[in-house]
Structure 1
Amino acid sequence: MKFLEAVFEGTLWRSRYMVVFAVIASMASALMVLYMATVDVVYLVQHVMHYADTGLAAEARKAIHDETITHVVEVVDGYLLSTFMLIFSLGLYELFVSDIDEAQGKRSSSKILVINSLDDLKQRLAKVVLMILIVNLFEKALKIPMTEPLDLLYLGGAIALIGVALYFTHASESHGAGKEETEPASKH
């Protein structure tokens, strides 16, 4: 019976390596989104080159300006999504497979990519999701025609809610940092 238990537990423990498929798929997704955002930057630069054309009418220049701002926001959104997938894949690997020795103790990792728990991964991903939502709101706000005072009030409310979300995110970081300092060193 002890032998069967050992075999079963060993198999169960090694099954965590299935997560490697999710890590590879997430990393591939991050690379694809990074590639798409970078291609968008190349097209954006080509598009902006017409902005300095002296024969361009004021309306056309304004259209290029507005389109450029929208495209820049979309590119930022793409890079943030790529970052999200990168953090997700590295976090899954660290939690289920092994610590990334290359990142341990390196100043360049700056504790962003070193994941110690599932809550740690969720917290880091939540910050990136919040930034993506902020960028998306900014992108939508650029396209919304402000025809009535109520439209401006809605936009102000959305900005206020973002401020509250950022405040609580920062407050939770400060609270978590104070908690880590008071924990005994033997837990780390």
Structure 2
Amino acid sequence: MEKVTTPDTPAPAALQRNAGTLERVFERILWNSRFIVLLGVIFGALSAVVLFIAGSLEIFTVLVEYLHVTESHLTHEDILIAIIGAVDFYLIGLVLLIFSFGIYELFISELDIARNHEGIGNILEVASLDDLKNKIIKVIIMVLIVSFFQRILTMEFTTSIDMLAMAISIGVICIGVYFLGRHNL
């Protein structure tokens, strides 16, 4: 029995062509939607720049105040707290840079210019989301350690238990850093 097509019903080949075209258009749109990560790349990099400027201004302010001899001269503790705060800004800026480079490489394209510079490319090279996560985790742990150190400088110790708690905290951080380096996250 022969199949009869009427003017109202399209031929099967035409349906397949339309479905194939629709599928290709949808796949192209879906694939190009990955460019939305450029917002994260751009704003992550801009945030890193802001943090690096803020850290530099923090150090510059301490330097100016330290060199300016007045009655409100900075103590060594004030200088350390400000510089450690600046280092904290730098480390968080690094997290944002690593994140920006990583999502760019994973979703858009490899950074060819980074691969042309020996020694630098491997720092920013990201092979997978797990690799990106591990690099970010390492820097975040360093941020936490620096922040902890900054808090210790401002603590007032009233009892021997306060000193013991601080010593235990530092010991736990050291053990964690040891295992982090040994495990090679």
Place the TM-score, normalised by the shorter chain, in its bin: 0.7 to 0.9
d(CA) in 2 for partners of 1:134 and 1:71?
15
User: Does residue 178 of structure 2 align to residue 167 of structure 1?
Assistant: yes
Distance of aligned partners of 1:74 and 1:145 in 2 relative to their CA distance in 1, 3 Å threshold: same
- One-letter amino acid matched to 2:101: L
Q: Please give the alpha-carbon distance, in whole angstroms, between the structure 2 residues aligned to 1:70 and 1:108.
A: 33
Q: 1:2 aligns with which of 2, 7, 20?
A: 20
2:162 maps to amino acid: D
RMSD over aligned Cα, in angstroms?
A: 1.8
Q: Structure 1 residue 110: deviation in Å?
A: 4.9
Bigger radius of gyration among the two: 2
Per-residue deviation, residues 87-110 of structure 1 (Å, max 9, x unmatched) = 111111011110000112532315
Instruction: Please tell me whether residue 76 in structure 1 is matched to residue 87 in structure 2.
Output: yes
Structure 1 unaligned spans of 5+: 177-188
Q: Report what 2:45 is aligned to.
A: 27
Does the 8 A contact of 2:115 with 2:121 survive in 1?
no
Of 103, 110, 132, the residue aligned with 1:92 is 103
TM-score by length of 1: 0.83
Q: Following superposition of structure 1 onto structure 2, how do residues 39-188 of structure 1 map, counting pairs within 5 Å? A: 39-50=57-68, 64-173=75-184
Which whole-Å CA distance do the structure 2 matches of 1:92 and 1:77 have between them?
23
Structure 2 residue runs of 5 or longer lacking an equivalent are: 1-18
The answer (yes or no) to whether the contact 2:35–2:108 under 8 Å persists in 1 is yes
Give the partner amino acid of 1:29. S
Q: Distance in 2 between matches of 1:135 and 1:110?
A: 26
Which residue does 1:182 correspond to in 2? none
TM-score, L = length of structure 2: 0.84
Moved over 4 A (4+): none
Alpha-carbon distance in structure 1 between the residues aligned to 2:158 and 2:121: 46
The Cα of 1:75 is off from its aligned counterpart by 0.7
Provide the identity percentage.
33
